[in-house]
Structure 1
């Protein structure tokens, strides 16, 4: 057994760091004969076609309350994970892009829908099929009580009729990224959560996040092969057009145990062991409200440059029509031209991502669910922002200001630590999300590693969409030299770097 005192979450993070001295030995050629499929297929089941309901006015459907219900559900799922583009590879094979970004285009997440039984959607289990934009009912039976039991009788399931469950098919991402794939899987799922939050505003649904559930019971409920796939989140959908479903906020996260007595784990087995170690298996849990965690503003030095980020909200158009358009046309930028952004553009990006209360007049959710944002810190390396000195800044969301903590241009270092990707070098600003992993584990156990990456991906997706709305370039980066990021930011070596988002003007 290991003699280390650190938890399995800390061990996993340390072990999956990229380091310049060892990355070559960890890299391997991709076995294209074992490339995983990115769509899940069911041989049996009843299909519900959602394509006719993608537009508000369709010649194929009448304008009725039933049609409106289907339109809302269709738009919600399409804006969350629908196919938005088709490309052909050099071999002529099609590659499909989705509304939510995924590292390497591998799309490890699966989206399920559980119906309690509505007049239009019978009770049972459904898998969302992005390729055909349809729901396939693979289990026709009332399972809502089993869902409530698996979620420890979470109060948001009392009156809701629909719930999304996301899972991960681990090998889809591990095929390329090996043991580090677990990070990317949860970042990718976080992108989904960002889409669900905003698509809910478009369709009059309020998604409620649940991260604390019995993994074993939920996996059994969905009939998934736990050697290949595992549940990651539960998202009850409160219908805002039904007064009984206008629900108060409730807890999103529950703690797991802390494993410090793990064996030596072989390469390739780390994801499976770590996922199982972060499961919650107790029959019941006391749910405490974690939505009220205050965001502590740090790095408040009296001598540092402080710049207010207060600004006018981004205009998403009448009835948010520009939001849906932005979600569907979002693409990750492949190259920047090195030109500067304006300070007002950076302020707008931060405002939309971190200050949802400013968007109440545009009918956005002013308090969307996260797992615990108080654990996540945001730093910005500024390389080219008009009106802002170069250097590294800490973003203080409560005070709505940037605080300069380092004073130099880091383009060269950013190019290096982003695995020599030109995106790091040519970006005008680079956003880093980090967390004190030891403190986070003490609060939520090893399961916090899921929560941290889900929240970081959620924030990253809101940055993505704000940038696209402003016609800027944006690209998330999950592969980087971890310790070198800490050196650039000037933060302790045990601060875990979760995610990087580069921002600039597209080439």
Structure 2
């Protein structure tokens, strides 16, 4: 990692801000982090950003034509699609598009392919295209509600080379802060990780790779995405520039920095569109959120070696990737009597290891998070606490940081490549339910995962790592979501938990490690009172022909 002298002078203060924010926004058994005292659901902020005056391109809906299976997407064997408007539309449909509308009484809400805390969706997606048939060169904003691209800028000269595609992601913090108050910045970062996972799996189903681009800081990315154009965002909620992703066919090499899109104002002749206001009457202000956002802006360049090859996986049903992605849901309740198989657990955990498969082939950083598993009902496994260290030497470091009475025995019957350790036999259903803000799903599931991050040294050295660690947690969560669906189960992310109560359970003292996200997996119980409606009423997903 290289840091400029001017940046280095700011690091200590910025790190103090990031660490203080994390401590301040912890939930405790006797009090929750600061948030709104009341919510008016009829005045919820608009979940869809639009740019008035931007020309629109209506995208086709073609997910019913994509034949690639989920197994082929994960194994890197899906047929490679050409970079055209149809395939870009499919990438967006399967990563940020709507999966369905839901109704219960007078309430109606949209479900998207990228999960979000509280279904609030702070993440916005932008497309940068060059020489892609059917899409003008330049910058576009994706509106998931309508499945359209809004063109924000035009390139000064048309591209004549090979087609190239990037996705830029940003966050509207107010969407989360409206409900969650000061803790919302954490949730926005977790959502970014889920969005990265959604892009990686969708790209793999098209025979493509997604690459998180290192070293692109917030200021540079804001210029590329036009988020620094004050006149286009006057009087409305700001967007925080987060990450740039290059999309390439699987048989192409990884992108290089000289192939990155330039700042839009340097290459565009025309800008169109002004952002809409999402909340006309905000009742609260949370100044700590823009403060921690500024403190953690930046980037890092510390790419690790390519992830190791994937070991063989157990054959699984050839469920189409598009079908599985569009049917992914968060379970609201679990069957407290259901027991999952050990084989299903091993498949879930195998997907969390940093192998050369989605979503980890998109992630250029060393693994820094390690799942702690509160196992309730898995065939052949003693209920209790288990650990899955995800990097070399992590088990030794965790042994020193966690309780000394943990036994650290390798789990018999687990695949040799799976570093699964038994720590403590115990019925943890009640304790993890309490620690997860008294949520029944944490105890009724087959298992609950607490994602333990290497924390203090990383954030103190570079405050941007605070974002990165949450993104990695979201990536783990997204892998669990889709692997649970593939196993006929379902998952649910939990962002509300009593931070230090969990640390006390694990024996953690200090801030060297911190838990950043919880996740549950089990067999869901459905609520028949909720009606499911088509994602795009009035439009049908194209069922003519099949994409290989």
TM-score, normalization: structure 1?
0.79
Q: Which residue of 2 aligns with 1:332?
A: 330
Task: Kindly indicate whether the alpha-carbon contact (under 8 Å) linking 1:99 and 1:327 is maintained by their aligned counterparts in 2.
Answer: yes
Q: Distance in 2 between matches of 1:200 and 1:130?
A: 17
SS of residue matched to 2:504? helix
Instruction: Please point out which of 2, 8, 25 is paired with 2:17.
Output: 8
Q: Distance in 1 between matches of 2:387 and 2:157?
A: 46
- Following superposition, the deviation at residue 458 of structure 1 comes to 0.8
String of CA shifts for 1:428-469, please: whole Å, max 9, x gaps.
1111111121122245x1100111111110111011101011
Q: Distance in 2 between matches of 1:382 and 1:476?
A: 16
Task: Kindly indicate whether the alpha-carbon contact (under 8 Å) linking 2:207 and 2:249 is maintained by their aligned counterparts in 1.
Answer: yes
Q: Distance in 2 between matches of 1:475 and 1:468?
A: 11
Change in Cα spacing, 1:479 to 1:408, as seen in structure 2 (3 Å) is same
TM-score, normalization: structure 2?
0.73
The count of corresponding residues between Structure 1 and Structure 2 is 439
Change in Cα spacing, 1:477 to 1:52, as seen in structure 2 (3 Å) is closer
Q: Distance in 1 between matches of 2:516 and 2:162?
A: 35
Consecutive unaligned residues in structure 1, runs of 5 or more: 58-64, 146-157, 251-265, 296-309, 358-363
Q: Which residue of 2 aligns with 1:154?
A: none
User: After the TM superposition, which of the residue ranges 165-174 and 112-121 deviates more from structure 2?
Assistant: 112-121
SS of residue matched to 2:464? helix
Task: Kindly indicate whether the alpha-carbon contact (under 8 Å) linking 2:367 and 2:390 is maintained by their aligned counterparts in 1.
Answer: no
For residues 140-155 of structure 1, the aligned pairs below 5 Å read 140-142=154-156
Whose helix fraction is larger, Structure 1's or Structure 2's?
1
Q: Which residue of 1 aligns with 2:48?
A: 39
Change in Cα spacing, 1:143 to 1:202, as seen in structure 2 (3 Å) is farther
For residues 131-280 of structure 1, the aligned pairs below 5 Å read 131-142=145-156, 161-210=164-213, 212-224=215-227, 225=233, 228-240=238-250, 245-247=252-254, 268-280=286-298
Change in Cα spacing, 1:144 to 1:412, as seen in structure 2 (3 Å) is farther
Q: Distance in 2 between matches of 1:312 and 1:332?
A: 25
- Following superposition, the deviation at residue 160 of structure 1 comes to 6.9
1:480 lines up with 2:497 in the alignment: yes
Task: Kindly indicate whether the alpha-carbon contact (under 8 Å) linking 2:171 and 2:242 is maintained by their aligned counterparts in 1.
Answer: yes
User: After the TM superposition, which of the residue ranges 477-486 and 370-379 deviates more from structure 2?
Assistant: 370-379
1:425 lines up with 2:443 in the alignment: yes
Task: Kindly indicate whether the alpha-carbon contact (under 8 Å) linking 1:117 and 1:124 is maintained by their aligned counterparts in 2.
Answer: no
Q: Distance in 1 between matches of 2:16 and 2:122?
A: 26
- Following superposition, the deviation at residue 354 of structure 1 comes to 2.0
Change in Cα spacing, 1:211 to 1:19, as seen in structure 2 (3 Å) is farther
Task: Kindly indicate whether the alpha-carbon contact (under 8 Å) linking 1:73 and 1:203 is maintained by their aligned counterparts in 2.
Answer: no
Q: Distance in 2 between matches of 1:341 and 1:180?
A: 33
Q: Distance in 2 between matches of 1:276 and 1:143?
A: 34
1:290 lines up with 2:303 in the alignment: yes
Q: Which residue of 2 aligns with 1:393?
A: 386
User: After the TM superposition, which of the residue ranges 6-15 and 445-454 deviates more from structure 2?
Assistant: 6-15
**What value does the CA root-mean-square deviation take over the aligned residues?**
3.2
User: After the TM superposition, which of the residue ranges 172-181 and 404-413 deviates more from structure 2?
Assistant: 404-413
String of CA shifts for 1:83-121, please: whole Å, max 9, x gaps.
011112433x43110001111110110000011343432
Change in Cα spacing, 1:99 to 1:481, as seen in structure 2 (3 Å) is same
Q: Distance in 1 between matches of 2:222 and 2:288?
A: 20
Q: Which residue of 1 aligns with 2:70?
A: none
Task: Kindly indicate whether the alpha-carbon contact (under 8 Å) linking 1:375 and 1:440 is maintained by their aligned counterparts in 2.
Answer: no
For residues 373-452 of structure 1, the aligned pairs below 5 Å read 373-397=366-390, 399-443=417-461, 445-452=462-469
